[in-house]
Amino acid sequence: MTRPKMEINRGLFARQVYDSASLTVPTTLFHRLRQEGTYDVRVHRGEQLAHRTTVRVSEQGVPQIDVDPAAGGHKADGDGCCDGAVRGQELLPGGALCFHVSEGDGGYDAVVERVGRDGSVDTVLDSSEAIPAGGVFAVTMVLPGEYGVMLNGEDKEWARVRVGEPDPASFRPAEGTVLTLGPRGLEPDQADLGFGQSVAIILEVDASIQVAPLHRE
Amino acid sequence: MAHITIAVSEQTFRDSFELLRDSVRFEEQDTFQANPYIQVEYDVKGHLAGGTLNLLGSNSIEIKELDLRWDRFKITLRIDIPTQYVGGWCIGGFGWSFCVPKVPFFSKSTDVEVKEDVAQFLSQELSLSCHLDARHYDASGPAPSPPCSLLRFVPWPSRDQWEIYVDPDGQPDVDLFDLGQIGSDIFRNALTDKIEDLIPNDLIGALLLSQVKGLANLIGKILDVPDDLTEAVSKWLHNAGLDKRLMTQLLDSFAKCNPIYGIDDPYQILPASDGLVPVRIPVKDVSVTTTDHEMIATATVGE
């Protein structure tokens, strides 16, 4: 008789190259909306529209709205998200849309457009192109090894991220390291992460970001 | 009023004790929760062997190096593996704070079951100081109750009887099951195998097993599995009181439930014959003691 197997979140391991232009389970993209108004938020997978919602930015809003195309819409409160996070359709000015993927192979990109009262449309995010300054791209790392951080699809390694083996003594998944991407590159240019921890890159300039393993496929 | 004295040589007493010793069994099965994720089931049974018995004077008996042997010492750990997450980090300190959503790393799966019979690894010796005790059994009394209804292997007499018990003086100081002596952490090794067995046999599973070497240990840590699991099992069994209960069973088998000798009361001195009923005389005030070479029982007989 075959024993039932553990249900592993395959999306965490399906790809080992993490790209801000192609969101997968380990990746999270924060895009801040500072200007009050109405925004059309769409997530695509290739040519297909995977998720669409409207977000109003106002003083009545919440600081963070999670957008998960794999969950079919805004995630309900409960398991799987961060302590204290609040979700809703109204976002505080300066708050963030949090694009993430809870399961599956991923491959999503996000588009956010500000819709004017006169029907005009202003694209404020198209992650398939680049993340605008002010955004944050984070990757939660579960495969030990060394990774390089590249920018804009180029081969140059701007920073190195080392992910340790699972260590029961230091298993603290709700921790991470911040790198800041400025005009001169990433600062600091290296990060050491424990298993299951995240690296977050705060963008001060527009860029697309790739995080790829250095010594394996 | 007449008195009767019965003497039993030390060798005969030893032979009788060996018959008693070979029949003693102690066993118990139960289940308890060791921590929120781990349930422990035990099924243990043991017996006695070997040992040397010496009669001492003044109603004192010394039993040395009695071997405790385990017929089975089956431990089953049922480990509930809950859903676990990675991520959940909140990035702050920049005038804002956003949180990376937690992502389920693996979903709740069927329980992992680790079964081991460690009987072969365990052996202990027991030394006891005992005295003899004579007690009257009333065959017309109420039905025997626990523990002796469970521990008695000497047949219950159909008539009243004086029974002589080997009664241990206090509890011996012995660790009934020191699993630490096994040497390797067999429960931890078995658990690691079981957890690795849960990982799917596919590309993702192969990737995990080849690249995430400490995964099983990590899952064990998440489940609050102690570093030395075998030692922990030993402590859990102690905390559950298993050793005390088994020792009580063992001692009660001798002290309360199974006499080494029985003297019928009334005692038949002539069998029935020629149409006459058997001749039986009452036995009263039985007392028992030892010298360094024999057991001596004395009683008052007749009306």
- Which value does ipTM take for this structure? 0.86
User: Residue A15: inside a domain, yes or no?
Assistant: no
Number of domains in chain B: 1
So what's the pLDDT on residue B122? 86
d(CA B251, CA B149): 15
Question: What is the least distance, in Å, from the CA of B53 to any CA of chain A?
Answer: 52
Percentage of chain A exceeding pLDDT 70: 88
Q: Which of B204, B214, B221 sits opposite A8 (nearest CB)?
A: B204
User: Residue A1: inside a domain, yes or no?
Assistant: no
Question: What is the least distance, in Å, from the CA of B245 to any CA of chain A?
Answer: 36
**Residue reference for tokens 């340790």:** A164
Number of domains in chain A: 2
Confidence of residue B229 (pLDDT cuts 50, 70, 90): confident
User: Residue A52: inside a domain, yes or no?
Assistant: yes
Give the mutation candidate from B94, B98, B194, B209 for the A interface (greatest A CB count, under 10 A).
Answer: B98
**Residue of chain B whose alpha carbon sits nearest to that of A93:** B96
B180 versus B150: the higher-pLDDT residue is: B150
User: Residue B81: inside a domain, yes or no?
Assistant: no
Average pLDDT over residues A57-78: 76
In this complex, do A96 and B200 lie within 8 Å of one another by their Cβ atoms? no
Q: What is the pLDDT of residues A165-177, one digit of tens each?
A: 877 677 788 899 9
- C-beta contacts of B157-160 below 8 A and 24+ residues apart: B157/B262, B157/B264, B159/B264, B159/B265, B160/B136, B160/B264, B160/B265, B160/B266
Percentage of chain A exceeding pLDDT 90: 71
User: Residue B19: inside a domain, yes or no?
Assistant: yes
Same domain, A45 and A112: yes
* Structural domain span for residue B129: 2-76+119-179+228-301
In this complex, do A145 and B211 lie within 8 Å of one another by their Cβ atoms? yes
So what's the pLDDT on residue A92? 94
So what's the pLDDT on residue B284? 93
User: Residue B38: inside a domain, yes or no?
Assistant: yes
User: Residue A8: inside a domain, yes or no?
Assistant: no
Same domain, A103 and A167: no
Q: What is the pLDDT of residues A154-168, one digit of tens each?
A: 999 999 999 988 776
Average pLDDT over residues A123-135: 97
Taking the model in full, what pTM does it have?
0.70
So what's the pLDDT on residue A75? 41
Q: Which of B90, B107, B215 sits opposite A7 (nearest CB)?
A: B107
In this complex, do B103 and A140 lie within 8 Å of one another by their Cβ atoms? yes
Average pLDDT over residues B250-261: 94
User: Residue A90: inside a domain, yes or no?
Assistant: yes
- C-beta contacts of B247-252 below 8 A and 24+ residues apart: B247/B171, B247/B172, B247/B174, B247/B176, B248/B147, B249/B26, B249/B27, B249/B28, B249/B147, B249/B151, B250/B24, B250/B26, B250/B48, B251/B168, B251/B171, B252/B147, B252/B148, B252/B151
Average pLDDT over residues B187-209: 78
Domain end call among A126, A149, A166? A126
User: Residue B207: inside a domain, yes or no?
Assistant: no
- Using left for φ > 0, alpha for ψ between -120 and 50, and beta otherwise, residue B302 falls in left
Same domain, A194 and A173: yes
The partner residues of B78 in beta bridges, in order of sequence, read B39, B113
So what's the pLDDT on residue B174? 79
Do β-strands B161-168 and B124-137 pair in parallel, antiparallel, or remain unpaired? Answer: antiparallel
Residue B261: pLDDT over 90: yes
In this complex, do B218 and A195 lie within 8 Å of one another by their Cβ atoms? yes
Tell me how many helices (H) and strands (E) chain B has: 7, 17
In this complex, do A143 and B214 lie within 8 Å of one another by their Cβ atoms? no
So what's the pLDDT on residue B108? 60
So what's the pLDDT on residue B116? 92
* Average pLDDT score over chain A: 87
Q: Which of A30, A83, A195 sits opposite B98 (nearest CB)?
A: A30
Same domain, A85 and A109: yes
Same domain, A117 and A172: no
* Structural domain span for residue A188: 136-213
Same domain, A205 and A145: yes
A53 versus B209: the higher-pLDDT residue is: A53
In a 3-state reduction of DSSP, which class is residue A194?
coil
**Residue of chain A whose alpha carbon sits nearest to that of B84:** A80
So what's the pLDDT on residue A15? 81
* Average pLDDT score over chain B: 87
Domain end call among A98, A126, A154? A126
**Residue of chain B whose alpha carbon sits nearest to that of A78:** B102
